[in-house]
Protein backbone atom coordinates (compact mmCIF):
# COMPACT_ATOMS: atom_id res chain seq x y z
CA UNK A 1 0.00 0.00 0.00
CA UNK A 2 1.40 3.42 -0.99
CA UNK A 3 0.59 6.09 1.60
CA UNK A 4 0.16 9.44 -0.19
CA UNK A 5 -1.55 11.48 2.56
CA UNK A 6 1.37 12.93 4.51
CA UNK A 7 -0.32 16.36 4.66
CA UNK A 8 -2.90 14.80 6.99
CA UNK A 9 -0.41 12.85 9.08
CA UNK A 10 3.12 11.80 8.21
CA UNK A 11 4.29 8.27 9.10
CA UNK A 12 6.18 8.11 12.39
CA UNK A 13 9.83 8.91 11.74
CA UNK A 14 12.30 6.21 12.89
CA UNK A 15 14.04 8.77 15.11
CA UNK A 16 10.70 9.61 16.74
CA UNK A 17 10.09 5.94 17.47
CA UNK A 18 13.54 5.52 19.04
CA UNK A 19 13.20 8.67 21.15
CA UNK A 20 9.70 7.71 22.25
CA UNK A 21 10.74 4.27 23.45
CA UNK A 22 13.84 5.59 25.21
CA UNK A 23 11.98 8.37 27.00
CA UNK A 24 9.30 5.99 28.21
CA UNK A 25 12.01 4.52 30.44
CA UNK A 26 13.73 7.79 31.36
CA UNK A 27 11.00 10.44 31.27
CA UNK A 28 8.09 9.05 33.22
CA UNK A 29 8.53 11.17 36.36
CA UNK A 30 7.15 14.64 37.10
CA UNK A 31 9.60 17.23 35.68
CA UNK A 32 8.44 19.71 38.30
CA UNK A 33 9.88 17.60 41.16
CA UNK A 34 13.36 18.04 42.60
CA UNK A 35 14.31 14.45 43.25
CA UNK A 36 16.53 12.49 40.86
CA UNK A 37 13.81 11.06 38.61
CA UNK A 38 12.13 14.47 38.36
CA UNK A 39 15.43 16.17 37.52
CA UNK A 40 16.07 13.60 34.79
CA UNK A 41 12.62 14.26 33.33
CA UNK A 42 13.23 18.03 33.51
CA UNK A 43 16.49 17.64 31.61
CA UNK A 44 14.68 15.75 28.85
CA UNK A 45 11.94 18.38 28.66
CA UNK A 46 14.44 21.27 28.58
CA UNK A 47 16.50 19.56 25.88
CA UNK A 48 13.37 18.96 23.78
CA UNK A 49 12.34 22.59 24.16
CA UNK A 50 15.79 23.81 23.12
CA UNK A 51 15.77 21.59 20.03
CA UNK A 52 12.27 22.60 19.01
CA UNK A 53 12.95 26.29 19.60
CA UNK A 54 16.07 26.12 17.44
CA UNK A 55 14.00 24.62 14.61
CA UNK A 56 11.26 27.21 15.00
CA UNK A 57 13.69 30.12 15.24
CA UNK A 58 12.69 31.41 18.66
CA UNK A 59 14.00 31.38 22.23
CA UNK A 60 13.36 28.32 24.35
CA UNK A 61 11.39 30.35 26.91
CA UNK A 62 9.11 31.55 24.10
CA UNK A 63 7.96 28.03 23.18
CA UNK A 64 5.16 26.04 24.80
CA UNK A 65 4.22 22.41 24.23
CA UNK A 66 0.46 21.87 23.92
CA UNK A 67 -1.75 18.90 23.05
CA UNK A 68 -2.13 19.54 19.29
CA UNK A 69 -1.68 22.04 16.49
CA UNK A 70 -5.36 22.92 16.70
CA UNK A 71 -5.00 23.60 20.42
CA UNK A 72 -1.96 25.76 19.71
CA UNK A 73 -4.01 27.88 17.29
CA UNK A 74 -6.95 28.20 19.67
CA UNK A 75 -4.73 29.20 22.60
CA UNK A 76 -2.63 31.52 20.46
CA UNK A 77 -5.54 33.36 18.86
CA UNK A 78 -7.50 33.71 22.10
CA UNK A 79 -4.46 34.80 24.14
CA UNK A 80 -3.28 37.37 21.60
CA UNK A 81 -6.74 38.88 21.14
CA UNK A 82 -7.23 39.10 24.92
CA UNK A 83 -3.77 40.56 25.42
CA UNK A 84 -4.47 43.32 22.90
CA UNK A 85 -8.07 44.05 23.87
CA UNK A 86 -7.16 47.69 24.50
CA UNK A 87 -5.86 48.02 20.94
CA UNK A 88 -9.17 46.89 19.46
CA UNK A 89 -11.37 43.95 18.55
CA UNK A 90 -10.50 43.48 14.89
CA UNK A 91 -9.06 40.19 13.58
CA UNK A 92 -7.66 39.50 10.10
CA UNK A 93 -7.55 36.01 8.55
CA UNK A 94 -7.10 34.66 5.04
CA UNK A 95 -9.89 32.81 3.25
CA UNK A 96 -7.84 29.60 3.11
CA UNK A 97 -6.74 29.27 6.72
CA UNK A 98 -7.01 25.93 8.51
CA UNK A 99 -10.41 25.34 10.08
CA UNK A 100 -8.91 25.86 13.56
CA UNK A 101 -8.19 29.49 12.67
CA UNK A 102 -11.56 30.04 11.00
CA UNK A 103 -13.41 28.48 13.95
CA UNK A 104 -11.54 30.82 16.28
CA UNK A 105 -12.56 33.73 14.05
CA UNK A 106 -16.21 32.60 14.11
CA UNK A 107 -16.17 32.48 17.92
CA UNK A 108 -14.56 35.93 18.07
CA UNK A 109 -17.19 37.38 15.74
CA UNK A 110 -20.01 35.74 17.71
CA UNK A 111 -18.63 37.41 20.84
CA UNK A 112 -18.86 40.85 19.22
CA UNK A 113 -15.47 41.09 17.54
CA UNK A 114 -14.89 42.15 13.93
CA UNK A 115 -13.27 39.85 11.35
CA UNK A 116 -11.85 40.72 7.93
CA UNK A 117 -11.21 37.83 5.53
CA UNK A 118 -8.51 38.44 2.93
CA UNK A 119 -9.30 36.70 -0.40
CA UNK A 120 -6.89 34.59 -2.45
CA UNK A 121 -6.23 34.29 -6.17
CA UNK A 122 -6.95 31.21 -8.26
CA UNK A 123 -3.61 29.71 -7.17
CA UNK A 124 -4.62 30.02 -3.51
CA UNK A 125 -2.22 32.85 -2.65
CA UNK A 126 -2.98 36.04 -0.75
CA UNK A 127 -1.74 39.41 -1.94
CA UNK A 128 0.44 41.31 0.50
CA UNK A 129 -1.59 44.37 -0.42
CA UNK A 130 -4.70 42.55 0.80
CA UNK A 131 -3.32 42.43 4.33
CA UNK A 132 -2.03 45.97 4.07
CA UNK A 133 -5.52 47.18 3.13
CA UNK A 134 -7.17 45.08 5.86
CA UNK A 135 -5.14 46.55 8.74
CA UNK A 136 -7.10 49.12 10.77
CA UNK A 137 -6.29 51.22 13.84
CA UNK A 138 -8.29 48.75 15.95
CA UNK A 139 -6.67 45.59 14.53
CA UNK A 140 -5.63 43.33 17.40
CA UNK A 141 -4.26 40.34 15.47
CA UNK A 142 -3.65 38.98 11.97
CA UNK A 143 -3.35 35.29 11.02
CA UNK A 144 -1.74 33.69 7.98
CA UNK A 145 -0.78 30.09 7.27
CA UNK A 146 2.72 29.49 5.94
CA UNK A 147 1.47 26.99 3.32
CA UNK A 148 -1.82 25.41 2.34
CA UNK A 149 -2.56 21.94 3.65
CA UNK A 150 -4.94 21.29 0.74
CA UNK A 151 -3.17 22.59 -2.37
CA UNK A 152 0.42 23.21 -1.20
CA UNK A 153 0.59 26.91 -2.07
CA UNK A 154 3.14 28.81 0.03
CA UNK A 155 2.08 32.22 1.32
CA UNK A 156 4.18 35.42 1.39
CA UNK A 157 4.52 35.27 5.17
CA UNK A 158 7.72 37.30 5.40
CA UNK A 159 6.26 40.25 3.49
CA UNK A 160 2.96 40.13 5.37
CA UNK A 161 4.85 39.98 8.67
CA UNK A 162 6.74 43.14 7.70
CA UNK A 163 3.45 44.88 6.90
CA UNK A 164 2.01 43.85 10.25
CA UNK A 165 5.13 44.90 12.16
CA UNK A 166 5.05 48.33 10.52
CA UNK A 167 1.45 48.69 11.66
CA UNK A 168 2.18 47.42 15.18
CA UNK A 169 -0.04 44.35 14.69
CA UNK A 170 1.12 40.86 15.77
CA UNK A 171 0.98 38.10 13.15
CA UNK A 172 0.13 34.51 14.09
CA UNK A 173 1.48 31.96 11.60
CA UNK A 174 0.03 28.47 11.28
CA UNK A 175 3.20 26.64 10.25
CA UNK A 176 1.84 23.10 10.57
CA UNK A 177 2.56 22.10 6.97
CA UNK A 178 5.90 23.85 6.46
CA UNK A 179 7.84 23.62 9.72
CA UNK A 180 9.28 20.22 8.87
CA UNK A 181 10.87 21.76 5.77
CA UNK A 182 12.22 25.06 7.11
CA UNK A 183 11.82 27.79 9.68
CA UNK A 184 9.26 30.48 8.92
CA UNK A 185 11.01 33.71 7.84
CA UNK A 186 10.08 37.22 8.85
CA UNK A 187 9.16 39.06 12.03
CA UNK A 188 6.14 36.94 12.95
CA UNK A 189 4.84 37.24 16.52
CA UNK A 190 3.17 33.89 17.22
CA UNK A 191 3.54 30.49 15.58
CA UNK A 192 1.59 27.23 15.85
CA UNK A 193 2.55 23.78 14.57
CA UNK A 194 1.76 20.09 15.04
CA UNK A 195 4.22 17.21 15.42
CA UNK A 196 2.27 14.60 13.47
CA UNK A 197 2.73 16.70 10.32
CA UNK A 198 6.51 16.10 10.29
CA UNK A 199 6.64 12.50 11.49
CA UNK A 200 6.40 13.05 15.22
CA UNK A 201 3.75 11.41 17.40
CA UNK A 202 0.22 12.78 17.45
CA UNK A 203 -0.90 14.74 20.48
CA UNK A 204 1.96 17.28 20.52
CA UNK A 205 1.61 20.85 19.31
CA UNK A 206 3.93 23.85 19.48
CA UNK A 207 2.99 27.41 20.34
CA UNK A 208 5.66 30.09 20.13
CA UNK A 209 4.93 33.56 21.50
CA UNK A 210 7.79 35.98 21.01
CA UNK A 211 8.85 38.31 23.79
CA UNK A 212 7.10 41.64 23.69
CA UNK A 213 3.81 40.24 22.36
CA UNK A 214 0.94 41.08 24.67
CA UNK A 215 -0.63 37.76 25.61
CA UNK A 216 -3.28 36.88 28.19
CA UNK A 217 -4.01 33.22 28.84
CA UNK A 218 -7.73 32.47 28.78
CA UNK A 219 -9.35 30.08 31.24
CA UNK A 220 -7.85 28.59 34.40
CA UNK A 221 -4.08 29.07 34.56
CA UNK A 222 -1.82 26.12 35.33
CA UNK A 223 1.71 26.47 36.65
CA UNK A 224 3.06 24.31 33.81
CA UNK A 225 4.13 25.49 30.36
CA UNK A 226 3.94 29.20 31.23
CA UNK A 227 0.29 28.73 32.11
CA UNK A 228 -0.58 28.09 28.46
CA UNK A 229 -1.01 24.30 28.64
CA UNK A 230 -2.63 22.88 31.74
CA UNK A 231 -1.84 19.40 33.01
CA UNK A 232 1.01 16.94 33.14
CA UNK A 233 3.27 17.06 30.08
CA UNK A 234 3.32 14.04 27.75
CA UNK A 235 7.08 13.97 28.03
CA UNK A 236 7.85 10.88 25.89
CA UNK A 237 5.78 12.29 23.00
CA UNK A 238 7.36 15.75 23.41
CA UNK A 239 10.87 14.29 23.30
CA UNK A 240 9.97 12.25 20.21
CA UNK A 241 8.44 15.29 18.53
CA UNK A 242 11.53 17.42 19.05
CA UNK A 243 13.89 14.63 17.99
CA UNK A 244 11.97 13.93 14.78
CA UNK A 245 11.77 17.65 13.93
CA UNK A 246 15.54 17.91 14.17
CA UNK A 247 15.93 14.72 12.10
CA UNK A 248 13.61 15.76 9.25
CA UNK A 249 15.22 19.19 9.09
CA UNK A 250 18.62 17.55 8.59
CA UNK A 251 17.19 15.69 5.57
CA UNK A 252 14.89 18.43 4.31
CA UNK A 253 17.00 20.21 1.68
CA UNK A 254 17.97 17.06 -0.17
CA UNK A 255 14.56 15.41 0.15
CA UNK A 256 12.78 18.57 -1.01
CA UNK A 257 14.61 18.46 -4.34
CA UNK A 258 13.64 14.83 -4.87
CA UNK A 259 9.99 15.25 -3.89
CA UNK A 260 9.62 18.38 -6.03
CA UNK A 261 10.71 16.33 -9.02
CA UNK A 262 8.13 13.67 -8.21
CA UNK A 263 5.24 16.09 -7.67
CA UNK A 264 6.18 17.98 -10.83
CA UNK A 265 5.99 14.66 -12.66
CA UNK A 266 2.43 14.27 -11.36
CA UNK A 267 1.49 17.87 -12.25
CA UNK A 268 2.69 17.43 -15.82
CA UNK A 269 1.57 13.88 -16.50
CA UNK A 270 -1.95 13.87 -15.00
CA UNK A 271 -3.44 16.29 -17.61
CA UNK A 272 -1.74 14.24 -20.33
CA UNK A 273 -3.16 10.96 -19.04
CA UNK A 274 -6.65 12.06 -17.98
CA UNK A 275 -8.98 14.36 -19.92
CA UNK A 276 -10.82 17.27 -18.29
CA UNK A 277 -8.49 17.75 -15.33
CA UNK A 278 -7.57 20.95 -13.49
CA UNK A 279 -4.31 20.94 -11.52
CA UNK A 280 -4.68 23.52 -8.75
CA UNK A 281 -2.33 25.51 -6.53
CA UNK A 282 0.66 27.67 -7.33
CA UNK A 283 2.96 25.84 -9.78
CA UNK A 284 6.15 27.33 -8.28
CA UNK A 285 5.59 28.63 -4.73
CA UNK A 286 4.51 25.34 -3.21
CA UNK A 287 5.41 22.68 -0.67
CA UNK A 288 7.74 20.00 -2.04
CA UNK A 289 5.46 16.98 -1.63
CA UNK A 290 1.92 18.23 -2.28
CA UNK A 291 0.01 18.24 -5.58
CA UNK A 292 -3.75 18.58 -5.99
CA UNK A 293 -5.98 18.13 -9.03
CA UNK A 294 -9.70 17.87 -9.80
CA UNK A 295 -11.36 15.67 -12.43
CA UNK A 296 -14.53 16.73 -14.20
CA UNK A 297 -17.45 14.28 -14.13
CA UNK A 298 -16.01 12.32 -11.21
CA UNK A 299 -17.20 11.76 -7.65
CA UNK A 300 -14.36 12.44 -5.21
CA UNK A 301 -15.37 9.79 -2.68
CA UNK A 302 -15.80 7.08 -5.32
CA UNK A 303 -12.48 8.02 -6.90
CA UNK A 304 -10.71 7.74 -3.54
CA UNK A 305 -12.22 4.27 -3.05
CA UNK A 306 -11.03 3.22 -6.51
CA UNK A 307 -7.50 4.40 -5.73
CA UNK A 308 -7.63 2.72 -2.33
CA UNK A 309 -8.48 -0.58 -3.99
CA UNK A 310 -5.53 -0.04 -6.32
CA UNK A 311 -3.23 0.39 -3.30
CA UNK A 312 -3.03 4.18 -2.87
CA UNK A 313 -4.06 6.25 0.14
CA UNK A 314 -4.91 9.80 -0.97
CA UNK A 315 -7.30 12.47 0.28
CA UNK A 316 -9.76 14.92 -1.22
CA UNK A 317 -11.28 18.36 -0.69
CA UNK A 318 -14.23 17.47 -2.91
CA UNK A 319 -17.74 18.15 -1.70
CA UNK A 320 -18.51 14.57 -2.70
CA UNK A 321 -16.45 13.29 0.25
CA UNK A 322 -18.31 15.44 2.77
CA UNK A 323 -21.51 14.57 4.58
CA UNK A 324 -22.50 18.24 4.24
CA UNK A 325 -22.09 18.15 0.45
CA UNK A 326 -20.25 21.47 0.79
CA UNK A 327 -17.00 21.91 -1.12
CA UNK A 328 -13.76 22.55 0.73
CA UNK A 329 -13.57 26.18 1.85
CA UNK A 330 -10.09 26.33 0.32
CA UNK A 331 -11.22 25.22 -3.15
CA UNK A 332 -14.26 27.47 -2.87
CA UNK A 333 -12.13 30.50 -2.00
CA UNK A 334 -9.83 29.77 -4.95
CA UNK A 335 -12.76 29.41 -7.34
CA UNK A 336 -11.44 26.15 -8.81
CA UNK A 337 -13.13 22.90 -9.71
CA UNK A 338 -14.01 20.84 -6.64
CA UNK A 339 -15.52 17.66 -8.09
CA UNK A 340 -13.28 14.62 -8.37
CA UNK A 341 -10.66 16.34 -6.25
CA UNK A 342 -7.52 14.39 -5.30
CA UNK A 343 -4.69 15.57 -3.05
CA UNK A 344 -1.44 13.63 -3.26
CA UNK A 345 0.99 14.45 -0.45
CA UNK A 346 4.16 12.39 -0.51
CA UNK A 347 5.94 11.48 2.74
CA UNK A 348 9.72 11.53 3.13
CA UNK A 349 11.31 8.63 1.31
CA UNK A 350 8.53 7.97 -1.22
CA UNK A 351 10.02 5.79 -4.01
CA UNK A 352 9.80 7.16 -7.55
CA UNK A 353 8.45 3.78 -8.63
CA UNK A 354 5.33 4.29 -6.49
CA UNK A 355 4.63 7.61 -8.21
CA UNK A 356 4.99 5.96 -11.62
CA UNK A 357 2.63 3.19 -10.53
CA UNK A 358 0.12 5.80 -9.35
CA UNK A 359 0.24 7.49 -12.75
CA UNK A 360 -0.36 4.16 -14.46
CA UNK A 361 -3.37 3.38 -12.25
CA UNK A 362 -5.04 6.81 -12.21
CA UNK A 363 -6.48 6.91 -15.77
CA UNK A 364 -8.30 3.61 -15.28
CA UNK A 365 -9.62 4.68 -11.89
CA UNK A 366 -11.02 7.95 -13.24
CA UNK A 367 -12.53 6.19 -16.27
CA UNK A 368 -14.22 3.63 -14.00
CA UNK A 369 -15.74 6.35 -11.81
CA UNK A 370 -16.97 8.34 -14.78
CA UNK A 371 -18.55 5.23 -16.25
CA UNK A 372 -20.30 4.45 -12.96
CA UNK A 373 -21.72 7.98 -12.91
CA UNK A 374 -22.94 7.72 -16.48
CA UNK A 375 -20.64 10.34 -17.91
CA UNK A 376 -19.85 8.45 -21.17
CA UNK A 377 -23.52 7.81 -22.03
CA UNK A 378 -26.62 10.01 -21.77
CA UNK A 379 -28.51 9.97 -18.51
CA UNK A 380 -32.17 10.83 -18.04
CA UNK A 381 -32.47 14.59 -17.98
CA UNK A 382 -35.63 16.66 -17.80
CA UNK A 383 -35.25 19.10 -20.70
CA UNK A 384 -37.67 21.85 -21.64
CA UNK A 385 -37.21 23.82 -24.86
CA UNK A 386 -34.96 23.33 -27.89
CA UNK A 387 -32.57 25.15 -30.15
CA UNK A 388 -32.19 28.60 -28.65
CA UNK A 389 -32.28 27.66 -24.95
CA UNK A 390 -32.57 24.71 -22.63
CA UNK A 391 -33.51 24.16 -19.01
CA UNK A 392 -31.74 21.26 -17.28
CA UNK A 393 -33.46 20.02 -14.15
CA UNK A 394 -30.71 18.71 -11.85
CA UNK A 395 -32.61 19.26 -8.61
CA UNK A 396 -31.86 16.58 -6.05
CA UNK A 397 -28.80 15.41 -7.98
CA UNK A 398 -25.44 15.77 -6.28
CA UNK A 399 -21.89 16.48 -7.37
CA UNK A 400 -20.88 15.86 -10.12
CA UNK A 401 -24.20 15.01 -11.84
CA UNK A 402 -25.32 18.65 -12.51
CA UNK A 403 -22.11 19.34 -14.42
CA UNK A 404 -22.31 16.03 -16.29
CA UNK A 405 -25.83 16.87 -17.46
CA UNK A 406 -24.81 20.39 -18.46
CA UNK A 407 -21.93 19.02 -20.52
CA UNK A 408 -24.23 16.61 -22.36
CA UNK A 409 -26.73 19.22 -23.54
CA UNK A 410 -24.52 22.24 -24.26
CA UNK A 411 -24.17 21.06 -27.85
CA UNK A 412 -27.97 20.95 -28.27
CA UNK A 413 -28.27 24.75 -28.25
CA UNK A 414 -27.04 27.19 -30.86
CA UNK A 415 -23.88 29.22 -30.33
CA UNK A 416 -24.92 32.27 -28.32
CA UNK A 417 -27.87 30.47 -26.73
CA UNK A 418 -28.09 29.56 -23.06
CA UNK A 419 -28.53 26.54 -20.85
CA UNK A 420 -30.25 27.11 -17.51
CA UNK A 421 -29.23 24.50 -14.92
CA UNK A 422 -31.52 24.10 -11.92
CA UNK A 423 -29.62 22.72 -8.92
CA UNK A 424 -29.89 22.64 -5.15
CA UNK A 425 -26.35 21.31 -4.66
CA UNK A 426 -23.91 23.78 -3.07
CA UNK A 427 -21.08 22.37 -5.20
CA UNK A 428 -22.78 23.55 -8.40
CA UNK A 429 -22.11 27.15 -7.39
CA UNK A 430 -18.39 26.42 -7.66
CA UNK A 431 -18.18 23.67 -10.27
CA UNK A 432 -20.38 25.11 -13.02
CA UNK A 433 -18.28 28.33 -13.35
CA UNK A 434 -15.11 26.20 -13.18
CA UNK A 435 -16.46 23.93 -15.93
CA UNK A 436 -17.20 26.98 -18.12
CA UNK A 437 -13.65 28.25 -17.74
CA UNK A 438 -12.20 24.83 -18.56
CA UNK A 439 -14.47 24.28 -21.60
CA UNK A 440 -14.45 27.79 -23.09
CA UNK A 441 -18.10 28.57 -22.37
CA UNK A 442 -19.49 31.71 -20.70
CA UNK A 443 -20.85 31.58 -17.18
CA UNK A 444 -23.57 34.23 -17.15
CA UNK A 445 -24.45 34.03 -13.47
CA UNK A 446 -26.83 32.68 -10.86
CA UNK A 447 -30.52 33.46 -10.48
CA UNK A 448 -33.03 32.53 -7.78
CA UNK A 449 -35.41 29.68 -8.60
CA UNK A 450 -38.47 28.14 -6.98
CA UNK A 451 -36.17 25.42 -5.69
CA UNK A 452 -32.42 25.84 -5.36
CA UNK A 453 -30.80 28.15 -7.89
CA UNK A 454 -30.61 28.57 -11.65
CA UNK A 455 -27.11 28.73 -13.15
CA UNK A 456 -26.97 30.29 -16.61
CA UNK A 457 -24.37 29.21 -19.18
CA UNK A 458 -24.01 30.66 -22.68
CA UNK A 459 -22.55 28.51 -25.44
CA UNK A 460 -19.57 30.19 -27.10
CA UNK A 461 -18.26 27.32 -29.21
Active-site residue set: 320
Whether omega for the bond prior to residue 236 falls within 30 degrees of 0, making it cis, is no
Contact 120, 68 (CB under 8 A): no
| pLDDT of 388 | 63
Rounded to whole angstroms, the Cα distance separating 406 from 276 reads 14
| pLDDT of 325 | 53
Rounded to whole angstroms, the Cα distance separating 301 from 315 reads 9
Rounded to whole angstroms, the Cα distance separating 240 from 199 reads 9
- Residue percentage of the chain with pLDDT more than 70: 95
**pLDDT (tens digit, 0 to 9) for every residue of the chain, 461 residues total?**
899 999 999 999 999 999 999 999 988 998 989 999 999 999 999 999 999 999 999 999 999 999 999 999 999 999 999 999 999 999 999 999 999 999 999 999 999 999 999 999 999 999 999 999 999 999 999 999 999 999 999 999 999 999 999 999 999 999 999 999 999 999 999 999 999 999 999 999 999 999 999 999 987 777 777 778 877 889 999 999 999 999 999 999 999 999 999 999 999 999 999 999 999 999 999 999 999 999 999 988 899 999 999 999 999 876 554 544 577 899 999 999 988 999 999 999 999 999 999 999 999 999 999 998 887 443 334 444 445 678 999 998 888 899 999 998 898 888 999 999 999 988 899 899 989 988 899 999 999 988 899 999 999 98
Contact 204, 234 (CB under 8 A): yes
DSSP H helical ranges for 111-233: 128-134, 157-167
Per-residue CA distances from 327 to 40, 316, 344, 449 (Å): 50, 10, 18, 21
Mean pLDDT score of the chain: 92
59, with CB counted inside 10 A (0-12, 13-18, 19+), is: middle
| pLDDT of 350 | 96
Residue 163: name the closest of 137, 130, 123, 120 by CA: 130
| pLDDT of 63 | 97
| pLDDT of 389 | 79
| pLDDT of 381 | 41
pLDDT digits (tens, 9 = 90+) for 51-90: 999 999 999 999 999 999 999 999 999 999 999 999 999 9
Rounded to whole angstroms, the Cα distance separating 80 from 141 reads 7
Q: What is the rounded (10 degree) CA torsion for 329, 334, 336, 337?
A: -10
Hey, which bits of 219-271 come out as E strands? none
Amino acid sequence: MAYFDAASAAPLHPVARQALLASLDEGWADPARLYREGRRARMLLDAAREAAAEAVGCRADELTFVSSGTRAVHVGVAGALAGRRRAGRHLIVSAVEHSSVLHSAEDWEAAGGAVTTVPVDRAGSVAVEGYEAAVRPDTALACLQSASHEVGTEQPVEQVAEVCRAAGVPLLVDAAQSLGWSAVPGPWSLLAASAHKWGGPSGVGLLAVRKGVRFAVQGPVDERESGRAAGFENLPAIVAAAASLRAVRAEADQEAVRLRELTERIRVRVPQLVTDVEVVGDPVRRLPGVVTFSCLYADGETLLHELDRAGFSVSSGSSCTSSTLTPSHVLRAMGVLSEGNVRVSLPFGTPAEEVDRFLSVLPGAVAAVREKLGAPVPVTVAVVGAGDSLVVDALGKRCPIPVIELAKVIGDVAVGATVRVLSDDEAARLDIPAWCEMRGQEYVGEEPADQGSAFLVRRLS
